[in-house]
Amino acid sequence: MTEKSVALFSSLGVLAALIIVFVISRFLPESPKPSDYDSVSSIMLTDIEEEKLRSVAVQRVDGGFNFELDEDGNWILSDLLFRLNSDEVKRVTGMLSSIESGEIISRGLDRNRLPEFGLDSPAARIVVTDKAGDSEVVEVGSGSPVSGQRYARREDSYDVVFLPPAVTEIVFMDGSDFRDRTLPMPNLDEIERLEFRRKGRVFQMVSSEEPNPYVSSANYYVVTKPWQGKHYLDEGNFRTRIREEAPPPTTVLTYLDNENPRSAKFGLADEKADMLYISDRNSTVLHLILGASDGEGNRYARLGDRNESLFKLSESELGFLDTEPFHLTSKFVFLGSIERVARVRIEVDKEAWILTRIERGETESIKDDLFLVDDTEITFEEFSSLFQKLIGISREGQIQEEHIRLEPEIRITITNSKTGVDPLLISYWSYDNVYYQVGMDTEEPEFLVGRYQVQELINHLMALS
């Protein structure tokens, strides 16, 4: 037989084998396909739309919780008296109303095997009820020795599954875990009043009811304590301090419900206890009374405007009380706009100079006005230079000790360009060889000013007169 004949017979043999396989396969029964039920990797343990919920409960021998909707549609815990964290409550009720299981462990388990999974005596039960009164119940069993995840099943099913870890965490929460620990927080951009007391030192500022008649731009806050005169807030320093460096506390560390806030050991009954008060234009108030330290970096505290439990705050969140009031005031003794001033009288010992601005021409064209030192006319540039020396005098510190005061060495009286505005009187008393004591519209000095600053003004004035 030739090679070609052998190759032909081999090819025909392969073809015949393929035909036989094809024919046999046509008549064999098809392999069963897996059912959709067996291919599912998880099941819904609860499935009630949030808007149809009436109650959500976790039942445990050692605790649990039961949220119910009140007449206004708010979730409440009827057996608790404190405020609830509404965001946390909404998260939990939403999660428990629609629980998708983890891995399916067993389908249609023989009930006699429930003890293997701790489901004969469940550690907890999740009961979700809709507004029609129909409930879905999930039983929570023991933990897997391998993964630690909890076994669970629907009360009406013998399918055993793993409970999602996030749901397991919720199952072991109690009512107190839903307590609102946030403090009232006024809008720091809309403050109406702020006051703090620290070791007897008091600072207070209030929203300015009237604009400063001596400046063109608005001054929004007046510092009313601890000084007698009228001083304006340095808003730049204040905003940096309260927003970046030492913002007010926002969260309670722990509540002490069973303690008496009047007990002396907490230091909260003392009328001179440290205090922080902030209110905004929408009447939101944070009023903290601060007591003794617990020796662990925290302080006892209570809300001064509410009859609630005392609590603890971290001392690290109370840095604003250590603010030096001096640094929150405008650093300038007098800050005014040149167009708001008509006359400045400067008295030094027995000498006196009068700077006068007389309006003429257009009101907006201040350079066209008449400027005088006593009776001598000077240029706008000369008057402006003197005025800059006056408003540039800045405070350099607070008075640290009492000094004998006689009559002021220097008096500066400033008259507004508008009628009906009271003049301002700035008085300078001797303090030492370096400083003057200075007071604005008060018989008592309140700050220190370097002598050199005032002398520069006087030297400039003498050179023009």
SS3 content of the chain, % helix, strand, coil (to 5): 25, 35, 40
DSSP letters along 114-153, please?
GGGGT-SS-SEEEEEEETTS-EEEEEEEEE-TTT-PEEEE
What amino acid is encoded at 329 in this protein?
T
Contact 165, 149 (CB under 8 A): yes
| Pick from 6-15, 35-44, 231-240, 404-413: least confident | 6-15
Query: Can you tell me the mean pLDDT for 349-376?
Result: 87
Residue 279 confidence class, pLDDT cut points 50, 70, 90 = very high
Q: Would you state the pLDDT for residue 308?
A: 81
- Going by C-alpha positions, the residue among 302, 287, 289, 296 that lies closest to residue 316 is 296
CATH ID of 338-464, from 3.30.1490, 2.60.40, 1.10.10, 1.10.1760: 3.30.1490
The residue extents of the domains of the chain are 41-178, 191-328, 338-464
Average pLDDT for the chain:
88
Q: Would you state the pLDDT for residue 219?
A: 67
Q: Tell me what percent of the residues of the chain surpass a pLDDT of 90.
A: 71
The strand pairing partners of 411, in sequence order, are: 347, 427
DSSP H or E stretch at residue 46? strand 44-47
